[in-house]
Amino acid sequence: MKLKINRNIPLIDQHDKNFMYGGKFGGNFIPETLKKPIDDLTKLFAKLRRDKNFLRERNHHFTNYIGAPTPFIKLENLTDHLGGAQIYAKVVSEANGGAHKIYNATVHCLIAKKAGKKYIVGDTGAGYAGKMLSMAAKKFGLKCKIFMGAKDIKRQRPNVEAMRKNGAEIVPVTTGSQTLVDAVSECMRYWVSNCDTSHMCVGSTVGPNIFIKICAWSTAQISRELMQQVKEEFGKIPKKLKLINCVGGGSSAAGFWNEFINTHAEFIGVEAGGPKNSKLHAAPLTNGSKIGILHGAAQYVIQDKEGQIGSTESISAGLDYPGISPLHCFLKDTKRAKYTSASDEDALKAYLLVSKLENISPSLEPSHAFAEAIRIAPKLKNSEVIIVNSCGDSLKDKDIIKQKLGSYIR
């Protein structure tokens, strides 16, 4: 069966009655205990997204709290340096807190308030989702608990400190690989035990269907702003336009592309290729992983023949995840988006080049996207336009970068 995008329905709503995209991605593979909380949340969100007051409230916080729009800038020096396509960046790292995760976190806190919940729990990899959730929870008066892999706690110290300052309780997860995959599992286990009092915020477009929906609906703000900015800059959508975004779980890419889905803009997702000369990676789409069930949803996932979830490796904690959003699986199989990967080394080089030449300094996650832009730009005509979502700032990666390159610039 050939999968197709439906132009008349928002991407997040293109699932069947079992909440599957294209009949094979997503769904709700969850324990019975979570059926009702997820059902309740699904109904509440369906109501809220049609509620004008709620939308007004959301827009108010997006503008005044998160800061909208985030800048859209031309990277003149990088463009000149590479010769070829015009390179632009949507500097989402200028949002309050420093990354796109603030959109999802803010919306989840608003929903938790409407649901009458006093506690909010979430997972985090790079620490951004956790940092933003702790910030938003503080703002909206919710008690916050963050699950984070012990390995990530060590490698993302600045974000951990920020979470503590915001008054969140950080629960180190010491099972398995001690990274994002284990943090999500542990957070879900916590929710199974506390779903009567706590609201759960899944940090990316992964997990049971409703979490994918809420997250992509929230990050879509990025492309709403971008659409306007592109039209202001070029008068229309450029004929040859490439939107390049890193993908781990896929929340920033989903938001960066959403409004452009029915346009001719090309989408390129860049997964974490891991260290060069290593078999380990975090790029299930690029490397042809099979469909499996992870964290309640069917998706392409790194796994062995038996169905045990596989190990991943990436320099970037935010992309270090064996699965990928069912939305991206759907975009891949419908051929609406293309996916590739960049190695740890390529990402580091890209970080360095962009930081040296420009006033922005992308974190290791968007550096994967910049690596792809840097790779292809010289081969393109100067009438072509590349926009990279710079969805995080390198400051959080200072320790890793220093260790790898000997020094840190920003």
Partner 1 sequence: MKSKIALAFENCKKEKRAALITYTVAGDNTKNNSLKILNKISKHADILELGFPHNTPIADGGQIQGSSHRALKNGMKLKDVFQIVKKFKKTNPLKPLILMGYYNLIYQNGESNFLKNCKSSGVDGLIIVDLPYPENKDFANRCKKKGINFIQLLSPTTSRERMKNIIKNSHDMIYYISMLSTTGGKLKVSPKKILENYNKIKRINPSKNLVIGFGITDKTISSLKSANGLVVGSLLCKTITNSLKMRQNPVTKLDKVVYNLKKKII
Q: Which residues make up the interface to partner 1 (CB under 8 A)?
A: 18, 27-37, 175-176, 181, 185, 188-189, 192-196, 290-296, 298, 303, 305-309
Cβ proximity to partner 1: between 200 and 220 the closer is 200
* Angle, CA of 385, 386 and 389, to the nearest 5°: 145
What is the maximal distance between C-alpha atoms in the chain? Answer: 57
- A 10 A CB-CB count for 1 gives 7
SS3 302: coil
Cβ proximity to partner 1: between 30 and 243 the closer is 30
Sign, Cα dihedral of 374, 269, 62, 295 = negative
Q: Tell me, rounded to whole angstroms, the distance of Cα 117 from its chain centroid.
A: 25
Closest CA to 184 of 130, 217, 147, 131: 147
Cβ proximity to partner 1: between 166 and 303 the closer is 303
Q: Report the nearest approach of partner 1 to the CB of residue 115 (Å).
A: 14
Give the β-pairing of 291-294 and 337-342.
unpaired
CA-to-CA dists, residue 37 to 117, 152, 389, angstroms: 12, 29, 34
**What is the CB-side half-sphere exposure of residue 92 using CA atoms within 13 A?**
31
Q: Report the nearest approach of partner 1 to the CB of residue 3 (Å).
A: 19
C-beta separation of 133 from 144 below 8 A:
yes
Q: Report the nearest approach of partner 1 to the CB of residue 31 (Å).
A: 4
- A 10 A CB-CB count for 135 gives 25
SS3 390: coil
Cβ proximity to partner 1: between 4 and 290 the closer is 290
Cβ proximity to partner 1: between 37 and 255 the closer is 37
Q: Report the nearest approach of partner 1 to the CB of residue 188 (Å).
A: 5
Q: Report the nearest approach of partner 1 to the CB of residue 381 (Å).
A: 45
Pairwise CA distance, residues 50 & 32, whole Å = 28
Cβ proximity to partner 1: between 56 and 290 the closer is 290
Phi, psi of 34 (to 5 degrees): -90, -5
Q: Report the nearest approach of partner 1 to the CB of residue 21 (Å).
A: 15
Cβ proximity to partner 1: between 196 and 232 the closer is 196
Pairwise CA distance, residues 394 & 397, whole Å = 5
Q: Which helix (H) or strand (E) holds 77?
A: helix 76-82
Cβ proximity to partner 1: between 7 and 17 the closer is 17
Q: Report the nearest approach of partner 1 to the CB of residue 44 (Å).
A: 15
Q: Report the nearest approach of partner 1 to the CB of residue 295 (Å).
A: 7
